[in-house]
Structure 1
Amino acid sequence: MLKKLSLSAALTLGLSATAALAAGGAGHVEDYDFSFEGPFGTFDQNQLQRGLKVYTEVCAACHGLKFVPIRTLGDAGGPDLPADQVREYAKLYEVYDEELEDFREAKPVDHFPESALENAPDLSLMAKARAGFHGPYGLGINQLMKGMGGPEYIASLMTGYVDPPACAPDDFDGYYNRAFTAGGIPAECKDENGYSKIEGSWIGMAPPLDDGYVEFDDGHENDLENLSKDVSAFLMWTAEPKMMARKQAGLTGVLFLTVLAVLLYLANKRLWAPIKQRAKDEE
């Protein structure tokens, strides 16, 4: 059973979370521009197809998309692949069939496989699970115009592998990433209170992308930043496949309410006009 937190307990938890973030170091999240941002933004179909290719050739070796049906790759508003391409794509994977008690070739009705490694998180909802933007506007303007910044966080993580700071020993485990805040930090890079003096932390995953790792048929730029943005956009779609329909429904609702408000105002004015005029005449 869930229990309500007292104000003091909530404040304590909030301060603890702030302290944990400080101890782990603030991460650097680049504010990338994506076509789907804002109330009128839409997914770029070509970018989603490029992101699918990056995921397939690089990310799928470790990370799964267990909540994503393969057939949705053909949905309008998404990668929108032709039906024959979706069927061919499904054949790239094997899924376990409980009736056969064995693995078989995947079909479009199946979901993407789960992560191949136990410590590799599933990426289906990662763009919604990770918040890239913090501060007083995290739940206000940023959420309205850009969302919570999950795609920016993922892209920043992909491009955030840089040389370790001077304070770090050479033999410290992992790879320094200035966007990742949940990893280890050497004692040499902390102040006397145990708080980090640097951005980010060390992550166990080696840099998954680099310039030219994936070639695109249309000759699109494939440097590290573009590859990172493409796969981040694709992961935003896996997390919010109905985003365009939701925005359309929201816009329709706003327009309907606007028209209704105008009609109510005019009706109210028409109904009360004779009464107001009669009151003036009696004066």
Structure 2
Amino acid sequence: MIAATHLQGLFLKNGLPVVAAAAVAAISTAGAASVTLLDEDDVVHPPHYPWRHQGYFSSFDHAALRRGFQVYRQVCASCHSLQYIRFRELVGVTHTTQEVKDMAQDVDVLDGPNDIGEMFERPGKPYDVMPSPYPNKETGRAANGGAYPPDLSLMVKARHNGADYVMALLTGYCEAPAGKEMMPGLYYNPYFPGGAISMPPPLQDAGVEYEDGTEATISQQARDIAQFLSWTAEPESEDRKKNACKYLTVLAFMALSAGYYKRWKWSPLKTRQIAYVKGTHGASLH
């Protein structure tokens, strides 16, 4: 505000319009507000967890991806969608082709119009996207007290340190500290901006029964779903790393071949010796 007042005085002193001074004051005030938001003390940064898939030559733990998808279907899918993931993308990652076909057929998909211009429902197919729990956002807000559950397809990419954030958020529910007033319907989570989140704790010990017999603790479920959402954010990650290894290997051989060819081609020119003998040209004339 001091900077804005000073600038406003300069504008008026130089005879510029008052509108310009007001604009500068508004910009300065907005900048001060943004700094205040960045200095909030009620947001805890998530710790860094060791993730297998974050190395340059590392791949996902596909057993964890399958468990994470199970957590999503049994816990998260009732509120959150995966609108950018199709059933067929799970083939070879978490399930077999037949398992994906059977899974898709269990879902009724609205399709159409047909020959008479009417919409109809049909069994899902592998090329269909994951079903959304709500037909539209208004229905989702009405079912969740006005807060629409966000889509989880790109959640890891949309948050700073995404996998760490998801892991810390799902395991960070606790009692509000003294002096922290919580509105009805909100839950305290120090990793959520503001500390108050409308989503109740979604995970419970033994909340799911893993097919591979892994003990389904809260931390295990949170770790599995965090890895699964890391894959949904970048389903092409492993293929990209494989292709990068191939391309870099070929590029290295091409660079060596080009360097060898250059040295072989230019070696006669670079090693030749040109000598000039004084008076030779004049002597030949006589």
After TM superposition, the score normalised by the length of structure 1 is: 0.74
Quick check: 1:115–1:122 contact (8 Å CA) kept in 2? no
Alignment match of 1:124 (pick from 129, 153, 174): 153
* Structure 2 residue 48 is matched with structure 1 residue 31: yes
Tell me: CA distance 1:174–1:263, structure 2 relative to 1, closer, same or farther (3 Å).
Answer: same
Quick check: 2:182–2:188 contact (8 Å CA) kept in 1? no
Q: Deviations over 1:142-192 (max 9, x none)?
A: xxxxxxxx22211111112122122313657611112212xx4xxxxxxxx
Quick check: 2:186–2:198 contact (8 Å CA) kept in 1? yes
Quick check: 1:173–1:202 contact (8 Å CA) kept in 2? no
After TM superposition, the score normalised by the length of structure 2 is: 0.73
RCO higher in structure (CA 8 A, sep ≥6) = 1
Aligned to 1:216: 210
Aligned to 1:161: 173
Alignment match of 1:178 (pick from 190, 201, 211): 190
Tell me: CA distance 1:94–1:167, structure 2 relative to 1, closer, same or farther (3 Å).
Answer: same
Equivalences, count: 234
* Partners of 1:250 and 1:14 in 2: CA distance: 42
Alignment match of 1:110 (pick from 121, 128, 131): 128
Structure 1: gaps (5+ residues): 1-11, 133-149, 185-200
Tell me: CA distance 1:175–1:259, structure 2 relative to 1, closer, same or farther (3 Å).
Answer: same
* 1:235 partner amino acid: L
Q: Deviations over 1:208-251 (max 9, x none)?
A: 11221111122112111110111111112222111111111112
Aligned to 1:139: none
Quick check: 2:154–2:229 contact (8 Å CA) kept in 1? yes
Tell me how large the CA RMSD over aligned residues is: 2.7
Residue correspondence of structure 1 range 73-88 to structure 2 within 5 A: 73-74=90-91, 76=92, 78-79=93-94, 81-88=95-102
Question: What is the SS of the residue equivalent to 1:265?
Answer: helix
* 2:246 partner amino acid: T
Aligned to 2:82: 65
